[in-house]
Copies of this chain bind each other. A is one copy, B any other.
Amino acid sequence: MTAWSIFEIMGIIAFAVSGALTGIQKRLDVFGVLVLAVTTAIGGGVLRDAIIGNTPPLTFRDPTFFIISALATIAVFFTYRWLDRFKYTIQIFDAIGLGAFTATSAKLALQHNLDSLLIVTTVAVITGIGGSVMRDVFVKEIPYVFRQEVYAITTIVGAMALYYSQAYFAGNIPLYLCFCITTGLRICCIKYGWNFPVLGMDSKRTVSGGRDSGR
């Protein structure tokens, strides 16, 4: 499972970097930036474990991810002025991590006898977006994943693939299938700028998009 660990670590780094940059931008102090980054990185998994009763959370029993997210945050403290150059790399890391966590979370849900498609998918979505929702709530923003980008839908498609493919394939094949679909789809979303529609309260406003233009 070494390749798998590397995928998850890439995700943890990307999530921590996104939390740290948000914290610096919102002018938190260094402790606040550290908490925000670690929360973004491991918050989704801790939330998943608290909800499904897998306590103490995996990350608390084996603090590897915790340490990596703290180290990534400290690295950001010294490099944040130049991180814009690596924006695309961080997005790829994030997509790889999203795929890895979707696969492991969906499998964890199945292992906890949650074998409805809807719930397996929900557990994967909570893990995938939980950290970034907490990050945005803490800095007083409406969660980004609810507003603009196709992010969680890739998790949904990946978790569905894992759920249906496990009847036909043995071993880790469903896990890898889920990973490839989630990560591949997410990279396409980034590359082609796919967005979800927003329903207008008023047809005129939808056409002009006026209410959002000031943001």
Instruction: List A residues at the B interface (Cβ < 8 Å).
Output: 23-33, 35-36, 46, 50-53, 55-57, 60-61, 63, 66-67, 70, 77, 80, 112-114, 116, 118-119, 122-123, 125, 133, 137-143, 145-148, 150, 152-153, 195-199, 201, 211-212
A143 with B137: in contact, given A51-B56, A57-B51, A60-B114 (CB under 8 Å)? no
Contact of A145 among B32, B113, B125 (CB under 8 A): B32
Once the chains bind, are B140 and A33 in contact (CB under 8 Å)?
no
Q: For the complex formed by this chain, how many copies does it contain in all? A: 3
Which residue of B is nearest A61, CB measured? B114
Once the chains bind, are A28 and B198 in contact (CB under 8 Å)?
yes
For A145, list chain B residues within 8 Å (CB): 31-32
Q: How far is the CB of A185 from chain B (nearest CB, A)?
A: 14
